[in-house]
Amino acid sequence: MSLSTQRHTPDPRAGSASPSTLRTQFAFLPEVIAELERSVPYASALATSSSGVRLALRDSEQGVSRRDPSAGVVLTASDGYEIEEVAVGATDEASVRDASRRLLEGLRRTRVGAHERNRNAINLEPGDQLSADYVTPVEISPDSLSLAEKLARFEDLRQRARRGDSRVVQAMARYGDAVETKVFVNRTRFITEIVHRATLNLTVFVSDGNVRRYNWLSRGGTGGLESLEVDEASLANVTEIAVALLGAKPIEPGVYDAVVDPSVAGILAHEAFGHGVETDMFLKGRARGVHYIGKRVGSDLVTIVDDPTVPGANGTYFIDDEGQSASPTCIIRDGVLMGGLSDLYSATRLGIARTANGRRESFERKAYARMSNTFFTPGRHSVEEVLGSLDHGLYICQGANGMEDPKGWGIQVGAHFAREYRHGKPTGVLFAPVSITGYVPDVLGNVTMVANDFHLHPGGCGKGWKEYITVGDGGPHVRTRLQLA
């Protein structure tokens, strides 16, 4: 058999999963939950697995590997005051039943003194009856290409970027596909979810012998290879901008009229009022937003939504990791803060409605209130109108990173570069890098135009410096006034 035509072996942990196989594999979980609930008022189980392929391609070096496959089960129980969990890196019945036994032992130990430690009892509700199976729609399955074909396809893309300019010193392509399965069980719910995912990142490094710069493009999200298409113009643009950045100037710190592209707008939304309305932060007193529900925090052009149901987006899912069915949450409507994103514990403690935002990094970590796909909603102006309105300002592009400050409402967003605009036209002058800082209500309050385009970008999100999950963020082009450095 020719290696080049060999398909990769289906992974028994995830790659070959179907709702029926998951239901069969975990048919014992309802009984485990019932046994736990003979001792405690609430119990649930989450079984997860992930598997896929990862390619890393660069000059004179190639890597291909399984994408950190993992499989495990976390059992959750509440004695009415605290939550206790046992997580095991195994999915067989014997291991899970052993974990259940250890969970009860742990509860007996921690129950001593739990009432003294926690002043308020908590009653975790399992939700309405629901039995459902969900699978991400895939147009072009990653399995439709052999591994050799994937290598050839993305190496060709890399080589085309590599040849774009003589100043390119390195080009890197990273591809990954994955199948992530989830089974959630409590006394009212047995839900399976299979999420397919594909991502591509291409980074081009250039040098003039002294200065080094780089630029990148990212594609992908949930679904299949259909989200990874890169047209020739986009490919050429990656290299052209990297080369142009060799002549970029540092920005003069100050306040600027600015238009941010959807990638920067997305990070603004994510950092400004994504993290700031995670309701576990409300419970901990770490978010100023709790005092501003129903109050104005931005101009009336600002509407920010978190939505795990956006087809194909990177932060899309059907149920969260606590069994809550996905639905959109309007965080800010017409400049007024509406509410937060909750997990089961904080929603119960705060007495607020649950949203589908209880997410874990993996079965090894606890669930927190986390974002999914967070974005500004589109406005009524064309992109050309928004950019054309800049009499003397900057078009800030290629969002790179950000950091939240839910308590102080400060913000930091790193953008890769900015184009200078005069009289509605680009001058050809580039500034790099660009750091956006400032006070969140000022940033949102100064929004004067919102374009009618809409793009979501794949990203990763941590809570503090850990708890990494997949998210999407974006929106339209947004005009505001920003403090830059």
For residues 276-295, which are near another protein according to CB under 8 A?
A: 283-286, 288, 291
Decide: is 320 part of the binding site for another protein (CB under 8 A).
Answer: no
Region binding another protein by CB under 8 A among candidate stretches 184-192, 202-210, 300-308, 324-332: 202-210
Please tell me the total number of residues recorded for the chain in this structure.
485
Whether 17 contacts 42, CB under 8 Å: no
* Interacting positions 321-340 with another protein (CB under 8 A): none
Helix axes 93-111, 29-36, angle to 10 degrees: 20
Q: Which is nearer to another protein, 119 or 423 (CB)?
A: 119
Q: What is the footprint of another protein within residues 371-410 (CB under 8 A)? A: 401-403, 405, 407-408, 410
* Residue number with CB closer to another protein (237 or 412): 412
Listed residue (311, 316, 317, 325) closest to 354, CA to CA: 325
Binding residues for another protein restricted to 344-373, rule: CB under 8 A = 345, 364-366
Residue 63 CB coordination number (10 Å): 10
One residue of 31, 66, 101, 427 binding another protein per CB under 8 A: 66
Q: Are 381 and 451 in contact (CB under 8 A)?
A: yes
Q: Minimum CB separation from another protein for residue 407, in Å?
A: 4
412 binds another protein (CB under 8 A): yes
Residue 154 dihedral angles phi and psi, to the nearest 5°: -85, -25
Site for another protein in 105-164 (CB under 8 A): 106, 110, 114, 117-120, 147-148, 151
Q: In the bound complex, what is the minimum distance in angstroms from residue 283's beta carbon to another protein?
A: 6
Size of the site for another protein (CB under 8 A): 92
Nearest distance from C-beta of residue 425 to another protein, angstroms: 27
Residue 3 Cβ vs another protein, minimum distance, rounded to whole Å = 6
The neighbour count for residue 348, using CB atoms within 10 Å, is 18
Q: Which amino acid is residue 282, in one-letter code?
A: F
With respect to another protein, which residue has the nearer C-beta, 133 or 165?
A: 165
Q: Is 438 in the site for another protein (CB under 8 A)?
A: yes
Under the binding rule (CB under 8 A), the answer on residue 232 touching another protein is no
Contact flag: residue 213 with another protein (CB under 8 A): yes
- Positive or negative: CA dihedral 155, 229, 14, 344: positive
Options 19, 69, 80, 127; binder of another protein; rule CB under 8 A: 69
List the Cα angle 102/103/107 in 5-degree steps. Answer: 115
Q: How far is the CB of 203 from another protein (least distance, A)?
A: 10
**By CB under 8 A, is residue 435 in contact with another protein?**
yes
Q: Residue 309: CA atoms inside 13 Å, Cβ hemisphere, count?
A: 10
Least distance CB 369 / another protein (angstroms): 12
Phi, psi dihedrals of residue 299, rounded to the nearest 5°: -70, 165
63 binds another protein (CB under 8 A): yes
Strand partners, 355: none
**Which of 18/62 has CB closer to another protein?**
62
| Nearer Cβ to another protein (52/472) | 52
Of 16, 18, 20, 62, the residue at the interface with another protein (CB under 8 A) is 62
Sites for another protein among residues 244-263 (CB under 8 A): 250-251, 253-254
By C-beta, is 64 or 330 nearer to another protein?
64
Residues 439-468 that bind another protein (CB under 8 A): 439, 464-466
Min dist CB 38 to another protein, Å, is: 21
d(CA 385, CA 388): 5
The residue range among 53-61, 190-198, 256-264, 321-329 that interacts with another protein, by the rule CB under 8 A, is 53-61
Angle between helices 147-162 and 232-244 (to 10 degrees): 50
Using the rule CB under 8 A, is 61 a contact of another protein? yes
Which C-beta is closer to another protein: that of 109 or that of 380? 109
